[in-house]
Chains A and B, each alone.
Chain A
Amino acid sequence: MNAVANIQAEPLLRVQGLSKWYGHVLGCRDVSFEMRPGEVLGVVGESGSGKTTLLKCLSGRLVPSSGQVEFETRRHGLTDIYALSEPDRRRMQREDWGFVHQNPRDGLRMRVSGGANVAEPLMNMGQRHYGEMRRSTVEWLERVELDTSRIDDKPRNFSGGMQQRIQVARNLIHGPKLVFMDEPTGGLDVSVQARLLDLLRELVRDLGLAVIIVTHDMAVARLMADRLLVMRRGEVVETGLTDQVLDDPQHAYTQLLVSSVLQI
């Protein structure tokens, strides 16, 4: 994407001192960072490191115990998303964001067709012309490399990799500025994983999307992310350019994490 223009751009997302406690149990602590339009941020760490808690707090799904998540909203500029009224926050989530779940069942309506799943965000934004929505849906099914003749099939009739591509189309069709991805290739076979990752990589670049991708897979992180947050026990222990963090990790935990990856 056009990084030339984005280098000086205002932050799209600004996170300050974000902490989440579940009673006495720590979810994540004192996380701060900024993101610019078009940036891809990877959040890595092992299970239980607080990645998912952080993602939920960032995406407006879990109220943090303290700290702020500010997003560049259309109407109010850079605003604390938890200070918005609930309808305003929901509208922002619907119009400006996407969220790709690890399990497509969490991100798709299994009772309605793949095509309607993809078109729903348009209807949520007020489109009321069936023919136009149908055209956009076909376009998007093509972009995610799905057979458009299967537009009216139910998600359960698609393979896991195809379901995930329907989910991707559903989360991009409305032109979001920021997309959250929670282990988007987690439940897939390796070959299917590679194809989806490559597709995601191309789409992210072509659309100039900002993405926050949570993964425990270092190969996914390297392929997708511009920079990384490494989390351990709820805290960010290292952050930096993806290849620098992976090739010259500074923190003991990151060194362990990187050296634990099997080489083939």
Chain B
Amino acid sequence: MTEASPPANLAERYYNYAYLDEQTKRMIRRAILKALAIPGYQAPFGSREMPVPYGWGTGGIQLTAAIIGPDDVYKCIDQGADDTTNAVSIRKFFAKVADVATTEDTSDATIIQTRHRIPEQSLKAGQVLVFQVPQPEPLRGLEARETETRAMHAYEEYGLQYVSLYENISAYGRIAATAGYPVMIEERYLMSPSPIPKFDNPKMDDNEAILLFGAGREKRIYALPPHTRVRSLDFEDYPFEVQSWEENCALCGAEDSYLDEVVLDDAGNKMFVCSDSHFCGERRKAGHSGPMAGHQLDQTVEGNTP
């Protein structure tokens, strides 16, 4: 912001700044503080009706609304991409109701709201990553009773979570779960990382940024303060491992990023590209190229416009 005089209609403009009323934001902030104080614990909060349906990120939007200020720089990604409908809409929403600058650049952002990915580029102290969470309870698929899962968390009874990993190995010969892979926080609370690929699980461990998780429909907030220990569950004889690809990114040639498979035509031709669109674009700007560089899809990705 420049030193120019504030807008004449400041008071009116900041009435219900960032969409939510002040009392609601205070309530959410209290839940965030509680969640940060007990890493991995699901703090209940009074989730509000939002102008989007449940499942479109109401939890993440409320978290963002509660922590955002006019000086923030906001980035929103969906499956790693800045340019999907949902990401674009939510980004515009906050540009409008919070009057903030937006960016697609991971390193420029102070708040990054995400669905299903953690950016490839390492986060730094001072950044906040806000996750949209459909189901905060990692044990829910195995135990339907909330009273029971709460008791399990309270008493650290996590044997049941291993049942699902056991089932995986029995069925597929390995732990086949690829997304929403359960993690143990500071060897105390079992936590669902939201449906991020397990490829991203190691990025949570000892992260410099604050990670916030919001589930709007389920009315839960949980959080990881900077430098929290995050361990992915596994068996002694079936250790945790992340996905890997034989291919590199077809556009930027990256060897160590999370790749999406893109079907190109009815003949079954396909390509693998980085799911993190900003990361891919930055690499191409820096001169990296993959085997299909110059493909027409290349044009649609930010960073390569002539």
Chain A residues near B (Cβ < 8 Å): 86-87, 90-91, 94, 109, 111-113, 115-116, 119-121, 123-126, 128-131, 133-134, 151-152
Q: Chain B residues with Cβ under 8 A from A152's Cβ? A: 170-171
Q: Closest residue of chain A to B155, judged by CB?
A: A87
Cβ contact within 8 Å between A90 and B157: yes
Q: Pick the contact of B237 from A91, A113, A115, A130 — CB < 8 Å?
A: A130
Whether B162 is near chain A, meaning CB under 8 Å from some CB there, is: yes
CB distance from B51 to the nearest CB of A (A): 36
Q: Closest residue of chain A to B164, judged by CB?
A: A112
CA–CA, A128 and B240, complex, Å = 13
6 shortest interchain CB distances as A-B pairs: A124-B159, A123-B159, A87-B155, A123-B162, A130-B235, A129-B236
Can you list 17 contacts pairing A with B, beta carbon distance less than 8 Å? A86-B151, A87-B154, A111-B141, A111-B142, A112-B167, A113-B167, A113-B170, A116-B170, A123-B162, A125-B159, A128-B236, A130-B235, A130-B237, A133-B166, A151-B170, A152-B170, A152-B171
Q: Chain B residues with Cβ under 8 A from A113's Cβ? A: 167, 170
Cβ contact within 8 Å between A120 and B163: yes
CB distance from A107 to the nearest CB of B (A): 14
Chain A interface helix/strand/loop/mixed: helix
With a 10 A CB-CB cut-off, give which of B159, B160, B238 has the most chain A CB atoms. B159
Whether B169 is near chain A, meaning CB under 8 Å from some CB there, is: yes
- Taking A116-B166, A119-B166 as contacts, is the C-beta distance between A124 and B157 under 8 angstroms? yes
CA–CA, A91 and B151, complex, Å = 12
Q: Chain A residues with Cβ under 8 A from B169's Cβ? A: 130
- Taking A109-B142, A128-B236, A129-B235 as contacts, is the C-beta distance between A123 and B157 under 8 angstroms? no
Q: Closest residue of chain B to A131, judged by CB?
A: B237
Cβ contact within 8 Å between B238 and A130: yes
Chain B interface helix/strand/loop/mixed: helix
Q: Pick the contact of B159 from A111, A120, A130, A151 — CB < 8 Å?
A: A120
CA–CA, A125 and B151, complex, Å = 16
CB distance from A90 to the nearest CB of B (A): 6
CB distance from A197 to the nearest CB of B (A): 29
CB distance from A67 to the nearest CB of B (A): 25
Within residues 13 to 71 of chain B, which ones have a CB less than 8 A from any CB in chain A? none
Q: Chain A residues with Cβ under 8 A from B235's Cβ? A: 128-130
Cβ contact within 8 Å between A129 and B159: no
Q: Mark B225-249, 1 if CB is under 8 A from A, else 0.
A: 0000000000111100000000000
Cβ contact within 8 Å between B163 and A112: yes
Cβ contact within 8 Å between A115 and B159: no
With a 10 A CB-CB cut-off, give which of B157, B163, B171 has the most chain A CB atoms. B163
Q: Closest residue of chain B to A119, judged by CB?
A: B166
Q: Chain A residues with Cβ under 8 A from B163's Cβ? A: 109, 112, 116, 119-120, 123
Cβ contact within 8 Å between B162 and A128: yes
Q: Closest residue of chain B to A126, judged by CB?
A: B159
Q: Closest residue of chain A to B156, judged by CB?
A: A87
Q: Chain A residues with Cβ under 8 A from B154's Cβ? A: 87
CB distance from B273 to the nearest CB of A (A): 35
CA–CA, A91 and B171, complex, Å = 30
Q: Chain B residues with Cβ under 8 A from A128's Cβ? A: 162, 235-236
